[in-house]
Chains A and B, each alone.
Chain A
């Protein structure tokens, strides 16, 4: 989905506040919730694609103002309520106040019918498509051309896996793009590599 989570290449963001000994967690509940969502995944309540998509489904102002572990917490709670494992009213009663969840799930999609395999060195193009559900192609590579540099084993197709839609696993390709092809005139000079699912790619024209 074209959501606020799709941050790559967005402009206007400020300096990265970096410390050499930067913390992973800042509060005790963050550690606990990071562990707890893993418990829920291992218990089979939801999968990692559902987890990531529920974060993307957060209301945009909530997403942007929440820290990383608030997004984890919100996704965990949303999916447990949607799957019927927990009740939203019970969560709010236990929490002693409102417990904002993510917005509803829309339809997903299966693998591209005309998807084809590629090899290292192939020139590929990212399909020019706009997907309302979960998708792992960042907007900044849409329609862009690059070269395959690695091939991964097959993975669940996120666009289907986040929505309970049947699909075949498919490989991802690490595709090398030139930053100046992605953002002509307004990018630092670099190669940008993106892990791209097979269904998102076509041979470069």
Chain B
């Protein structure tokens, strides 16, 4: 570990470089160090834009709705169940817990300490999930925050909040709407949103 001098940001020192320049600087420095920064960025941006999409989690949800045995496997071992659909989690996510909503129980996920999510399954977290306001308030002012976000839960509905403080990851298995009886798996998947798998919406 190299000893470095740290300074506190203050007003009377040279200007802080704009963020795009700081980002470009570290990218170029790591490339110069011998890391394939450009290749890694291309792959990572591809994953973020084309692979880690909520449509993946929506396929998991739709299958759980139509296939009771798959639903049971998903609730018992989420990581193994999503692997059946070709969905991998990063190595440090060793466990995926699916949280089943019912007519009387609602689940919502958060990460108060940073912004952890099962991003390879439900998609990367939206801006508001990472915002300080959501992180501070959802555990304590849960029903109020959900109401502000358009989800007004009846008092009788049990609310379960899940704070992602370890490397276990969570996804909400939404309650299947009654009007979807007889729909195909593809039709069902099309109505499952990232918000519903975070738990700030019901379908």
Tell me the A residues contacting B by CB distance below 8 Å. 5-11, 13-20, 22-29, 31-36, 38-40, 42-43, 47-48, 52, 55, 59, 61-62, 64, 68-70, 73, 76-77, 80-86, 88, 90-92, 94-105, 136-138, 140, 150, 152-153, 155, 164, 172, 174, 176, 179, 182-183, 186-197
Contact = CB atoms under 8 A, between A and B. Distances in A.
A16 B16 contact: no
Interface in B2-33: 2, 4, 6-9, 13-30, 33
Nearest to A154: B94
Given A5-B113, A20-B195, A24-B127, A190 B168 contact: no
A179 B36 CA distance: 47
A48 B92 contact: yes
23 contacts: A8-B112, A8-B163, A16-B137, A17-B128, A28-B20, A34-B44, A35-B40, A35-B48, A80-B29, A81-B4, A82-B2, A83-B2, A84-B1, A91-B29, A94-B24, A95-B21, A98-B16, A138-B113, A138-B163, A150-B97, A153-B95, A188-B144, A192-B163
A12 to B, nearest CB: 8
Nearest to A37: B44
B26 A76 contact: yes
A27 B195 contact: no
B148 A86 contact: no
B41 A98 contact: no
A139 B43 CA distance: 37
Nearest to A136: B165
A97 B18 CA distance: 8
Contacts of A155: 92, 94, 166-167
Contact of A91 (B13, B25, B44, B125): B25
Contacts of B138: 16
Nearest to A33: B23
B128 A22 contact: yes
Contact of A9 (B2, B4, B14, B140): B140
B139 interface: yes
Nearest to B137: A13
B45 interface: yes
Contacts of B18: 97
A109 B17 CA distance: 36
Given A152-B168, A192-B161, A77 B26 contact: yes
Nearest to A71: B114
A175 to B, nearest CB: 10
Nearest to B92: A48
A103 B15 contact: no
A116 to B, nearest CB: 18
Interface of B: 1-2, 4, 6-9, 13-30, 33, 35-37, 40-45, 47-49, 92, 94-95, 97, 112-115, 123-128, 130-145, 148-150, 155, 158-168, 193, 195, 200-201
Contacts of B24: 29, 94-95
A7 B135 contact: yes
Contacts of A182: 139-140
B112 A7 contact: yes
Contacts of A105: 1
A157 to B, nearest CB: 10
A132 to B, nearest CB: 16
Contacts of A85: 30, 33
Contacts of B168: 150, 152, 172, 174, 195
B140 A196 contact: no
B43 A35 contact: yes
Nearest to B15: A97
Contacts of B193: 20
A73 B19 contact: yes
